[in-house]
């Protein structure tokens, strides 16, 4: 019998990753196409369709495609739209699901990448038995997927879970959203890089960072320098973890999750970010929550969580329809 | 036919209010008994039972009692317990629901008073059609009930929704919980009173407050003095509303509610607290949420929301069982 699969699509600013994912989380085929290469959403969807269909024809006897789940910046689950995504060329409010369903003639669901990651952890990672948990994605920005009573929190308008934009400091760092002092201006790959330069101004420690222009520093190099004992790198992680933990304590006061998963480039720093975050979270928690909640790397840290999570959108819907 | 009613019980530090509430939200009988007068939970429950049963015998032909809903400080919906409530004489983790069911031989549910207020607004107030909303109770402290996808957010451990203890200022005011800088140390009846004295230290305005010792100022008098133009009272509301709105913007980034209800003594100040809170919330919101969310007084502000909300716990359960 042909394996039943779902197409997971992760739309990023530069590339769009795709994969055919079965209910067990095995990826039968994965690939990527350009995002930037298509000026209109219609041309992008046509290209995606011909790419996927071409591949399906090659393997048509071995799989049955049930639907398409999509993770996209500013993807709105309720409305099936992508709305004013800052990193995409397609502006305004795009009727994405309708356009996709017209092209593919299959059920399509969309949400943002952090919600998709939370669903991926639920169906294919370590959150399987948890009805209340939090996913934090630490990439260029800080994304979040909140799970309450077993479901993603979409909120009234489909845009819930923007923890990257809770307030850290009044009149703080300029954020890409137009506000100042948002969490993601401090806790993200770009946030920790800003902290490295802040610390070079504040402290007199010798550091290799003093030889590197701001524009050239890759955030991933900060972890390597912390490992080799650079005091600026170590302090940068401590300060970043402190602010992450302080913000997470407030999130716990909202939804009291069983566990907090972190994912993304900065999550690969492991103990450097997790240890100070845990310490700070515990210090800031109301006593009733203390000692109960772990911060752990996603089980899918080394797998394609974005594609798995996008596919999970459809698999979760199918599970619900079958009464699971 | 006898009217079907639910007993709503609101356990406060001093008095326990009770009422028989039908599905339409009409209270057929209400009364109160002492809370402080009973040193053990067992003696309290026996007194409550004989009080209610005595009354039911008088009206036994006109009502049928279906269950008992209870709002209590630190009431845990999942476990049916009251755990280390600071204002109650009964210490430790009390198996409250079990003790009540043994005494009354009826279904009993418990939660905290802010969650009960949110349920009251849902079943008997203005939140009937809303699947995502927030209830803030502004009394001696600041309580909150979060509603997501039509259900109260209890969280992993039953203790979600403690927005009174999110951080406002690092190293800020001492809070009753042991932490410093919590929201309820600023935004509550006692919080605004502290702000009045802070403002007398900061500013040189003439004010009647300068004649009143801290220990004697009743928070409700602050509204009257704002009405009569006292600059300290007006500034105290502006500062309190600013901090409330700033905190609410962060809560919106978590759950994106359709509407925010406020309830309790400080909510009676109306525009004095709501106008600066709205202004500040809008200023601090991510653009995608702006202009969408209203802050309004509870529809039950002049009714017994605590008893109605406690009763709503049982009515909501019965609605769910009947597939409504």
ipTM at complex level: 0.93
Contact list in B for residue A165 (CB cut-off 8 A) is: 253, 286
Consecutive H or E run containing B223 = helix B220-227
Query: What's the whole-number average pLDDT of chain A?
Result: 94
CB contact under 8 A, B131 and A257: no
Q: Mean pLDDT throughout A87-98?
A: 92
State whether residue B155 sits within 8 Å of chain A by CB.
yes
Q: Mean pLDDT throughout A109-135?
A: 95
**3-state class (DSSP) for residue B147:** strand
pLDDT band at A56 (very low <50, low <70, confident <90, very high): confident
Residue B54 has pLDDT above 60, yes or no: yes
**Could you tell me the pTM of the whole model?**
0.94
Q: Give the residue among B3, B81, B24 at the shortest CA–CA distance from B311.
A: B24
Residue B156 has pLDDT above 70, yes or no: yes
pLDDT given for residue B85 in this prediction: 84
B276: buried, middle or exposed (CB in 10 Å: 19+, 13-18, 0-12)? buried
pLDDT given for residue B1 in this prediction: 64
Token match 């305004």: residue? A92
Report pLDDT digits (tens) over B82-123.
998 877 889 899 999 999 999 999 999 999 999 999 999 999
Query: What's the whole-number average pLDDT of chain B?
Result: 94
CB contact under 8 A, A156 and B251: no
**Is the distance from CB of B42 to CB of B49 less than 8 angstroms?**
no
Q: Mean pLDDT throughout B220-231?
A: 95
State whether residue A291 sits within 8 Å of chain B by CB.
no
Q: Mean pLDDT throughout B4-17?
A: 93
Say which residues have a Cβ less than 8 Å from residue A156's Cβ, sequence separation at least 6.
B130, B131, B132, B133, B256, B257, B258, B292, B293
Q: A28-46 b/e with 16+ CB inside 10 Å = b?
A: ebeeebebeebeebeebbe
pLDDT given for residue B324 in this prediction: 52
pLDDT band at A55 (very low <50, low <70, confident <90, very high): confident
Site from A250, A260, A285 to mutate, B interface, most B CB atoms within 10 angstroms: A250
pLDDT given for residue A324 in this prediction: 52
Helices A231-255 and A220-227, interaxial angle, to 10°?
120
Q: Give the residue among A310, A278, A316 at the shortest CA–CA distance from A297.
A: A278
Q: What is the CA radius of gyration of chain B?
A: 20
Report pLDDT digits (tens) over B163-212.
999 999 999 999 999 999 999 999 999 999 999 999 999 999 999 999 99
CB contact under 8 A, A166 and B257: no
Quote the minimal CA–CA distance from A100 to chain B in Å. Answer: 24
Dihedral pair phi/psi, residue A111, rounded to 5°: -150, -175
CA distance A29 to A20: 5
CA distance B66 to B64: 6
The pair of three-digit structure tokens given for residue B50, joined into one six-digit string: 């004989």
Contact list in A for residue B157 (CB cut-off 8 A) is: 256, 258, 288-289, 292
Please give the DSSP secondary-structure letter assigned to residue B323: T
Handedness of CA A178, A184, A188, A193 (dihedral sign): positive
A165: buried, middle or exposed (CB in 10 Å: 19+, 13-18, 0-12)? buried
Residue A220 has pLDDT above 60, yes or no: yes
CA distance A143 to A309: 14
State the Cα angle at B278 between B275 and B284, rounded to 5°.
140
Consecutive H or E run containing B83 = strand B81-83
Q: Give the residue among B2, B10, B112, B17 at the shortest CA–CA distance from B66.
A: B2
Report pLDDT digits (tens) over A125-164.
999 899 999 999 998 899 999 999 999 999 999 999 999 9
pLDDT given for residue B94 in this prediction: 96
Contact list in B for residue A246 (CB cut-off 8 A) is: 167, 170
Sheet holding B81-83, edge to edge: B75-76, B81-83, B93-94
Quote the minimal CA–CA distance from B153 to chain A in Å. Answer: 6
Least confident interval from A169-183, B101-115, B310-324:
B310-324
State the Cα angle at B245 between B239 and B247, rounded to 5°.
105
Dihedral pair phi/psi, residue A76, rounded to 5°: -110, 110
Q: Whole-angstrom distance between the N-terminal and C-terminal Cα of chain A? A: 22
State whether residue B86 sits within 8 Å of chain A by CB.
no
A95: buried, middle or exposed (CB in 10 Å: 19+, 13-18, 0-12)? middle
Which of A156, A163, A293 lies nearest to residue B254, judging by beta carbons? A163
**Is the distance from CB of B221 to CB of B213 less than 8 angstroms?**
no
Interface of A with B in 233-252 (CB under 8 A): 246, 249-251
Half-sphere exposure of A95 (CA within 13 A, CB side): 5
State whether residue B160 sits within 8 Å of chain A by CB.
yes
pLDDT given for residue B286 in this prediction: 94
State whether residue A213 sits within 8 Å of chain B by CB.
no
Least confident interval from A234-248, B253-267, B293-307:
B293-307
Q: Give the residue among A110, A77, A96, A88 at the shortest CA–CA distance from A8.
A: A110
Report pLDDT digits (tens) over B234-290.
999 999 999 999 999 999 999 999 999 999 989 999 999 999 999 999 999 999 999
How many residues in total does chain B contain? 324
pLDDT given for residue B56 in this prediction: 85
Say which residues have a Cβ less than 8 Å from residue B196's Cβ, sequence separation at least 6.
B209, B217, B222, B232, B233, B236
Contact list in B for residue A166 (CB cut-off 8 A) is: 250, 253-254
Contact list in B for residue A148 (CB cut-off 8 A) is: 148-149, 153, 155
The pair of three-digit structure tokens given for residue B26, joined into one six-digit string: 């009409």
Q: Mean pLDDT throughout B120-130?
A: 94
CA distance A70 to A80: 10
Q: Give the residue among B84, B62, B61 at the shortest CA–CA distance from B74.
A: B84
State whether residue A155 sits within 8 Å of chain B by CB.
yes
State the Cα angle at B184 between B178 and B188, rounded to 5°.
140
pLDDT given for residue B13 in this prediction: 85
Q: In three state form, how does the secondary structure of chain A look?
A: CCEEEEEEEEECCCEEEEEEECCCCCEEEEEEEECCCCCCHHHHHHHHHHHHHHHHHHCCCCEEEEEEEEECCCEECCCCEEECCCCCCCCCEECHHHHHHHHHCCCEEEECHHHHHHHHHHHHCCCCCCCCEEEEEECCCEEEEEEECCEECCCCCCCCCCHHHCECCCCCCECCCCCECEHHHCCCHHHHHHHHHHHHHHCCCCCHHHHCCHHHCCCHHHHHHHHCCCHHHHHHHHHHHHHHHHHHHHHHHHHCCCEEEEECHHHHHCHHHHHHHHHHHHHHCCHHHCCCCEEEECCCCCCCHHHHHHHHHHHHHHHHHCCC
Q: Mean pLDDT throughout A61-81?
A: 92
**Is the distance from CB of A288 to CB of B155 less than 8 angstroms?**
no
Residue A323 has pLDDT above 80, yes or no: no
CA distance A242 to A236: 10
Q: Is A180 left (phi over 0), alpha (psi -120 to 50) or beta?
A: beta
Q: Give the residue among B21, B131, B130, B1 at the shortest CA–CA distance from B71.
A: B21
């Amino acid at each position: 019998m042909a394996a039943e699969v779902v197409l997971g699509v992760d739309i990023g600013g530069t590339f769009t990753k795709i994969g055919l994912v079965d209910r067990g989380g095995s990826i039968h085929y994965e690939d990527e196409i350009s995002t930037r290469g298509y000026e209109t959403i219609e041309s992008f969807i046509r290209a995606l369709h011909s790419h996927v269909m071409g591949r399906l024809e090659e393997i048509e006897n071995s799989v049955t495609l049930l639907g398409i789940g999509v993770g996209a910046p500013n993807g709105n689950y309720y409305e099936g739209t992508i709305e004013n995504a800052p990193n995409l060329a397609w502006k305004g409010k795009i009727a994405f699901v309708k356009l996709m369903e017209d092209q593919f003639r299959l059920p399509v669901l969309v949400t943002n990448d952090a919600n998709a990651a939370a669903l991926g952890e639920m169906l294919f990672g370590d959150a399987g038995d948890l009805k209340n948990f939090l996913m934090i994605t630490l990439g260029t920005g800080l994304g979040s997927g909140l799970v309450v009573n077993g479901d993603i929190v979409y909120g009234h308008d489909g845009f819930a879970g923007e923890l990257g934009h809770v307030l850290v400091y009044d009149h703080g760092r300029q954020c890409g959203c137009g506000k100042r002092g948002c969490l993601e201006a401090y806790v993200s790959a770009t946030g920790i890089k800003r902290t490295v330069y802040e610390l070079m101004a504040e402290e007199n420690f010798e550091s290799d960072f003093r030889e590197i222009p701001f524009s050239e520093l890759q955030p991933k190099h900060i972890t390597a320098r912390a490992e080799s004992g650079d005091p600026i790198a170590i302090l940068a992680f401590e300060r970043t973890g402190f602010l992450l933990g302080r913000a997470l304590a407030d999130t716990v006061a909202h939804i009291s999750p069983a566990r907090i998963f972190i994912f993304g480039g900065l999550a690969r720093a492991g103990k450097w970010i997790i240890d100070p975050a845990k310490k700070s979270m515990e210090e800031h928690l109301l006593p009733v929550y203390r000692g109960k909640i772990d911060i752990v790397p996603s089980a899918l840290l080394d797998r394609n969580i974005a594609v798995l999570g996008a596919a999970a959108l459809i698999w979760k819907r199918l599970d619900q329809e079958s009464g699971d």
